Amino acid sequence: MLRTRKGGRSAMRIAKGSVCGSAGKSAGLALIAVIIGAAQISPAVAQGLPLIRDSEIEALLTDYAKPIFRAAGLGSGRVTVRIVRNEAFNAFVLDGSNVFMHTGTLMQSNSPNEVIGVIAHESGHIAGGHMAALRARIAKDQTRALLTQIIGIGAMIAGGVAGGDSGRETLAGGQAVMQGGQDVIMRGLLSERRSQESAADQAGLKYLNATKQSGQGMLTTFERFQQQEYVSDQYKDPFVRSHPVATDRLARLRDLISTSPYIGQADPPALQLRHDLMRAKLAGYLDRPSTVFNRYGPADKSLPARYARAIARFFQGGSGALEASIAEVDALIKENPANAYFWEVKGDILMRSGKMKEAVPQLRQALKLAPESPLMRVQLATALQNTNQPETLNESVELLRKALIEDQNPQAFRMLANAYYKQGKGPEADAMTAQAYFLEGDVKQSQIFARRAQPKLRQGSPEWIKNDDIINFKPQT
């Protein structure tokens, strides 16, 4: 469920992503550089964004996205919504398999419909093949001047992500390089991008109508950034930078939404509650405790407020923090014994406190209530291994292997490797480590472990075949 963050405080589990590029607070994702990166590097082995994994939030986003993906003709399980840890409001696609959503988007969206509207818009990009079209356009227009501009944009992204004085110098350098490039090609690309944005709006609204949902959330999102249309790119929100909000485009969007028979369709109360719990959980794990206690004051007795405070109480630290946090989570469980995620949070807090044996029954109950959750299987398997009881290894291996059937999770591969090492299965452990490195984008280390495992694996076995694929893998250049 959740892992460590910079500065000593724990936060949501962060995994190395499988995408190209990086989204900093001040720069975000600039369109052309991201598309070039996606064209040059396979997303499965690219340098990763800080992706967050959480069973509760992923289940909610799946429920948001499934009807939209179905209406867009994207099938079941073909596209995944992935969570990027970043405070800025942004969402984007790089290929036909993933929609990337910032935690800032989830925390700033007041309703499910706002997030669903963003997903619908990004689905329009995927269904329209916009990324492939732009890559083809760039390949066709690869003149020296264009490449110079791309280098300039890349420098601007690096500067924005770096921040500080050195970041600003890099940003200025990137802008200077761009000014010396050929504007005609770039204007053509940006014109095509604006056309794609409008097409994605219309497609997204079509999907919302097909699923009998309002387009108001999408409109609310774009109206939020309308005032930034004429702001310098350096100061624009990342979402505006990658989704230009032209005035005429917004007017068309309003007209289309006003004609929808579902414009007044409200989110179901149960879904709104799940949305509010998600925001509370993100706050509890990612924000400073003082910020959480200010936002969710003691007078607020709502379930989301108590959820946020219970988590933040643990991260507040000091004498009695663990006991106070557990007591607040226990109160939530007493009122909602069928909520698997409250049990999971209790298990997670106990694990973070080094109380592995105490965490195991909590995680067992969580998995019992949500038996299809691969992340909960990994969490329970991790707790079992950390009890250092040899009799738990077989159960841990079984949980991890089952989790990996549904979810290729680097952490699960690493925990499985750890179990195999303890069982004296060195080649199998090396094979699992190779797959973990590969999913994290470290091809070199992955191939080192794969070559070490290969001679001792049975030729033709699933592990042998996967290792052989890793050994022979050549990143796109």
Please tell me whether residues 247 and 302 are part of one structural domain.
Answer: no
According to the per-residue pLDDT averaged within each range, which of 141-145, 182-186, 381-385 is highest? 381-385
Q: Which residue has the higher pLDDT, 19 or 130?
A: 130
Q: In terms of domains, do 200 and 116 share one?
A: yes
The identity of residue 117, as a single letter, is: G
Burial 465-475 (b: 16+ CB within 10 A, else e): ebbeebeeeee
Same domain, 196 and 310: no
Q: Is residue 296 included in any domain, yes or no?
A: yes
Q: Is residue 371 part of a domain?
A: no
Residue 108 and residue 223 in one domain: yes
Q: Are 223 and 329 contained in the same domain? A: no
| pLDDT given at position 121 | 93
Domain contains 427: no
348 or 13, which is more confident?
A: 348
Buried b (16+ CB within 10 A) or exposed e, 262-283: beebebeeebeebbbbbbbbbb
Per-range mean pLDDT, top range of 41-45, 139-143, 175-179, 423-427: 423-427
Domain final residue pick, 307, 335, 363: 335
470 in any annotated domain: no
Residue in 134, 138, 136, 72 with CA at minimum distance from that of residue 99: 72
Output the six-digit token pair for 474.
């050549």
Q: Are residues 327 and 187 in the same domain?
A: no
Least confident of 2-16, 182-196, 345-359, 462-476: 2-16
Would you say residue 376 lies in a domain? no
CB half-sphere exposure, 309, CA atoms < 13 A: 20
pLDDT value at residue 163: 37
Mean pLDDT, residues 246-252 taken together? 78
pLDDT of 342 higher than 90: yes
Is 53 among the domain residues? yes
Beta bridge pairs of residue 82? 100
Is 54:13 a contact under the CB 8 Å cutoff? Answer: yes
**Total number of domains constituting the chain:** 2
Looking at the structure, do residues 216 and 89 belong to the same domain, yes or no?
Answer: yes
Q: Which two tokens stand for residue 439?
A: 């999913």
Q: Looking at the domain assignment, is residue 236 inside a domain?
A: yes
The CATH number that applies at residue 120 is: 3.30.2010.10
Write out the H or E segment, with its range, that includes residue 269. helix 269-286
Residue 159 has, within 13 A of its CA and on its CB side, a CA count of 20
CA dihedral 51, 56, 57, 58 (to 10 degrees): 70
Over range 305-317, report the average pLDDT.
97
Say whether both 67 and 194 belong to one domain: yes
Taking the alpha carbons at both ends of the chain, their separation in whole angstroms is: 35
Q: Which of 212, 243, 258 is the last residue of a domain?
A: 258
Radius of gyration of the chain (CA): 23
- Residue range of the domain that includes 301: 292-335
What pLDDT is stored for residue 75 in this prediction? Answer: 80
Final residue in a domain of this structure, among 335, 369, 395: 335
Q: Are residues 48 and 189 in the same domain?
A: yes
The reply to whether 139 and 204 lie within a common domain is yes
Q: Which of 191-205, 229-243, 393-407, 463-477 has the highest mean pLDDT?
A: 393-407
Which pLDDT score, from 0 to 100, does residue 451 have? 96
173 has a pLDDT exceeding 70 = no
Q: How far apart are CA 80 and CA 343, in angstroms?
A: 25
Are 252 and 305 contained in the same domain? no
Residue 16, H or E segment: strand 14-16
Asked, for residue 466, whether it belongs to a domain, the answer is no
More confident site: 32 or 233: 233
Q: Is 193 left (phi over 0), alpha (psi -120 to 50) or beta?
A: alpha
Instruction: Please give the order of strands across the beta sheet that includes 98-102.
Output: 14-16, 50-52, 80-84, 98-102, 91-92
Domain co-membership, 97 together with 209: yes
